[in-house]
Amino acid sequence: MKNIFLFTVLMVSTTIFSQKAKITQGDWKDLKGISTYNLVFEYTDLQIPKYDSEEAFLEDKMNKRDDKEEGTGEEFKKNWFADRENRYEPKFIESFNKRFDDNEVKVGKNIDAEYTMKIHTTMLYPGYNVGVMRQNAKLEATLYVYKTETPNNILFSVDYTKVEGYGAMGNDYNSGYRISEGYAKLAKELAKTIQKKAK
């Protein structure tokens, strides 16, 4: 019972102190009247804490897995990239769209829309869960909004930091799942802010 209480306090504290947004161009009001966004996800120049590059991170994780069981390193690398399209992006879209009951604002990939929203993930920390110890996944991203036909003319941009992802009651042993929950929280925060300030 004590452990459940401590975990609940930890999760509430994490929610309170995460998901900070800093506008770098424009204003939330610039998004007023936009009902549909074509989504573009970008992962270039991705930073991984404690590693010089994403390549160094992958090499380290692959070597450690292959030392235990040959071939599991390549499987980890395959899933690391596949999770973007299979987990993170669908989770973001689902989480954002369900905040708007009447579809007054919606997002989707490869759709015909006057405006595009690009989500450039700049930092990913997969976290870990080994039963007795765990760390939430963390991500940072810059969101850009522009007219689809003029991508160099940025209408609005905002930096999100301290976005954390975790499963209910700590049941999140897969890094892809933990990270996808971070994208869900990013989308939730974005949708809530648009509802409140883009009017």
Contact between residue 151 and residue 179 where contact means Cβ atoms under 8 Å apart: no
The pLDDT tens digits for 103-137 are: 899 999 999 999 999 999 999 999 998 878 889 99
The model's confidence at residue 18, banded by pLDDT at 50, 70 and 90, is low
Higher per-residue pLDDT: 56 or 171: 56
Contact between residue 95 and residue 19 where contact means Cβ atoms under 8 Å apart: no
The dihedral over CA atoms of 190, 152, 116, 155, expressed in degrees to the nearest 10, equals: 50
Contact between residue 114 and residue 148 where contact means Cβ atoms under 8 Å apart: yes
Higher per-residue pLDDT: 18 or 154: 154
The pLDDT tens digits for 21-71 are: 999 999 999 999 999 999 999 999 999 999 999 999 999 999 999 999 999
pTM for this one?
0.89
The residue behind tokens 């004590």 is 2
The model's confidence at residue 10, banded by pLDDT at 50, 70 and 90, is very low
Q: In this structure, how many other beta carbons lie within 10 angstroms of the beta carbon of residue 181?
A: 24
Contact between residue 45 and residue 52 where contact means Cβ atoms under 8 Å apart: no
Backbone angles phi, psi at 128, to 5 degrees: -160, 160
CB under 8 Å to 4, separation ≥6 — which residues? 169
| SS3 (DSSP) at 82 | helix
| Nearest partner of 189 among 17, 8, 21, judged by Cα | 21
Tell me how far apart the 2 most distant CA atoms of the chain are, in Å. Answer: 56
**In order of start, what are the domains of the chain with their CATH numbers?**
19-197 (3.40.50)
Under DSSP, the state recorded for 87 is I
| Nearest partner of 187 among 123, 112, 114, 107, judged by Cα | 107
